[in-house]
A = this chain, B = another copy of it.
Amino acid sequence: MAKSQALQTNLDIDYVIVYRFAKKEKTKAIAQFEKLVEALSSVGLQTEVRNGDSHSVLLFARVASDEHLYGEVYRSRVRDWIHGVRAAAPPKETRDALDAEPLYEAERLRIIYQLITNPISEGGAGITPKEGEWKNVESIFALHDHAYNKDWIRKWTSSYFLKTEDLDEIRNRLGEKIAFYFAFTQSYFTFLVFPAVFGAAAWLFFGHFSALYGIVSCLWCTVFTEWWKHQEVDLGVRWGVRGVSRIEHKRKNFKHEHITTDPITGEKVGIFPVKVRLQRQLLQVPFALAAASLLGALIATCFGIEVFISEVYSGPLKTVLVFIPTGILTTTMPVLTGLLTKFATQLTDYENYETHAAYETALTQKIFVLNFITSYLPIFLTAFIYVPFGNIIVPYLDVFSLTVRPFAEHEKQLQAPGTSWTINPDRLRKQVIYFTVTAQIVNLGMELIVPYLKRRGFSKLKQMQSERAARNGGTSPAPSINDPPEDAAFLKRVREEADLAVYDVTADLREMVLQFGYLSLFSVVWPLTGVSFLINDWLELRADAIKICVEMQRPTPWRADTIGPWLDSLSFLTWLGSITTAALVYLFSNDGLGPDGTPSSICAWALLLTIFLSEHVFFVVRFGIRIAISKLSSPGLQKEHRERFLVRKQYFEENLQDLQKLPKMKEIGEEITRESLEEDARKSSLRESTAEERFWGRQRGWKETASVGKDLIQRADVETSVEGKKEL
């Protein structure tokens, strides 16, 4: 099979399972492998095994019979309906259900993946990669559809804007969770056109720190955030996933404190007291404080050193020494963030959430705090510490003289120039440009190039290892040596894909949200931010597509109806933007030197009043925008409306048919005559009757009531006659 052909077909394989075994425990590994194959077979999966890399085998699985898969699909759809994700129950005949609404690829892959990984009690095979008894199962992944991938990248790289159909395509292939990331980034990209154009105009005409730009930017951020919330609902309906976040997936690692019988379901369930969890969650406060202090101290120190070297130090090698703090940051920051992230994960584990969604949210919040500090603190330091208090602080910076003392020729080079020193108004702008242009480009490069280099290096290493092994006596032969020649090219490709990294969509989402933060918090410093981001995001969307296709294993398709906790981060950044923008405009509107020309004369109450007003105007405007956007109709909502109406109509018709048979009062009233009434009256006076019977016995039928009423109305204002009395 030629290489190009190997990329053309996936040979009906649904999932590849990489089974890696230790040299020492082969017997155990063999027994466990047998169990694995049996478990897969028990849920209706056909298997084939081939040799993998050293110490691994590749197990291929596909659904044995369509009948069985359809059963699973039907089960999943019924579950959706019961949780309110679908308006109507799928038709009872499985085959009909699938004809009415064919399976899309991501749905198929998701269901098979769940079939493999779900607990046995829920009808799955219970294979949990890397965990417990299945720790030998290294990964479970589907094979890339190279023909589609090629098409995808070609299509995207040749168009400016993505259409909803392009996103539908992604949803059909990679599932809703990834599709939501692309939909978000695409919406953000489209919205960016406005701040890019307006920002360029502001940069050209309005001067620096323009209040008008600040207001428009805040407004834009608010509109975007609120609009995205609306769009999320629309997409959720369009993709039929609205409400899937309500379907809870229990975490396997959840540890219960005691077991009780659920009064509702009658099942034994593990309970973890809410109070204990709340107590553990309180640890987040010291964690956030500690993380903030650690990262803050590191950033502040480097910041101080940099200011000292660039603005105080006047000795030799200044141009080189100025990079010391950057060096410190780039080496220690990743280590520190790595440690803190690990700690955040442990803390989240310790908080012991019951569902995946709760766990993800808790972890995301912690990660956001860390990212917030590392991304924005340097600019905060410059804007709100260095500028207003620079005159007070800079003289104390000679504590950092230690770092450059060896290079100084005499003491004077290490001393602040006294009263003549002024703050550098350009520092803030330079810093913002660094974060919004340089850092973004570096980031984009890292995303594409680092995995590529890693992959190349890894394969080089392997080659070297096997060469060395060959030299040492050939104990470890190339895995491909046993391949049937016709499958060789295909298996080589599978082995390559098995080596790829696993795609994590939240990392990409985080990147976008943090980028949005620069725009909402600091773009008033440098209005061209929008232009930079517009270009960056066009590339980012394509780069992410390439990354998924080339650098990563094909992601398992998951469902989602939102970008999840990042939405809260987005709202938070928008709100904070209303404060920072107002503060920045007030502090720097006169070219970095405060409204009166010097930063020392900044009026604290005026600053606070500006912030206070800006924030509260923001609240009111956001309220208005929310209402206006909530009135917008959308294709998705209309679709939902229609579906629900049809379901309702059908139910009503089914349930209320029997009721039509009931008699209406009309037919009773007609045949009553004066005679029968008098008859009744006589009867009732003869036998004992209740007050009710007597009261309601006077007028029988509506015609009688009408005629008595007519009498009463006519006789009003006329003197009572004996006749009238009789009649009653």
On A, residues with C-beta under 8 Å from B are: 1, 9, 11-12, 19, 21, 23, 26, 29-30, 33-34, 37-38, 40-51, 54-55, 57, 59-60, 62, 64-65, 67-68, 71, 74-75, 78-79, 81-82, 84, 89, 92, 94, 263-265, 274, 278, 474-477, 481-482, 484, 486-487, 490, 603-605, 607-609, 611-612, 628, 631-633, 638, 641-642, 645, 647-649, 651-652, 655-656, 658-659, 662-666, 668-669, 691-692, 694-696, 698-699, 701-703, 705-706, 708-710, 712-714, 716-720, 724-725, 728
Contact = CB atoms under 8 A, between A and B. Distances in A.
The 3 closest A-B pairs by CB, nearest first: A41-B702, A604-B605, A605-B605
A353 B223 CA distance: 25
Nearest to A5: B691
Contacts of A38: 666, 702, 706
A665 B710 contact: no
Most B CB contacts (10 A, CB to CB) among A21, A75, A631, A717 go to A717
20 contacts: A9-B692, A12-B692, A26-B714, A33-B709, A34-B710, A37-B705, A44-B665, A47-B699, A48-B696, A49-B705, A50-B712, A57-B712, A62-B696, A64-B668, A79-B652, A84-B84, A92-B655, A474-B719, A482-B725, A605-B607
Contacts of A57: 709, 712-713
A74 to B, nearest CB: 7
Contact of A665 (B68, B263, B701, B728): B68
Contact of A717 (B476, B607, B713): B476
Given A34-B709, A278-B631, 11 more contacts: A11-B692, A12-B696, A41-B665, A47-B699, A48-B705, A78-B651, A263-B638, A264-B641, A278-B628, A605-B605, A605-B607
B719 A477 contact: yes
A30 B714 contact: yes
A46 B714 contact: no
Contacts of A638: 263-264
B642 A705 contact: no
Instruction: Give the copy number.
Output: 2
A26 B94 contact: no
Most B CB contacts (10 A, CB to CB) among A23, A89, A659, A701 go to A659
A177 to B, nearest CB: 25
A695 B692 CA distance: 88
Contacts of A728: 482, 484
A709 B713 CA distance: 100
A100 to B, nearest CB: 15
A724 B605 contact: no
Contacts of A481: 720
A691 B11 contact: yes
Nearest to A701: B41
Contact of A605 (B265, B608, B651): B608
A526 to B, nearest CB: 27
A15 to B, nearest CB: 14
A233 to B, nearest CB: 16
A698 B94 CA distance: 32
Given A486-B691, A719-B477, A37 B655 contact: no
Contacts of A628: 278
Contacts of A725: 482
A388 B643 CA distance: 61
A651 B82 contact: yes
A75 B605 CA distance: 64
Given A71-B659, A655-B92, A712 B49 contact: yes
A474 B274 CA distance: 78
Nearest to A695: B11
A714 B33 CA distance: 12
A11 B47 contact: no
A570 B705 CA distance: 50
A690 B719 CA distance: 107
A607 B709 CA distance: 73
B708 A49 contact: yes
A709 B475 contact: no
A246 to B, nearest CB: 11
Contact of A608 (B274, B612, B659, B702): B612
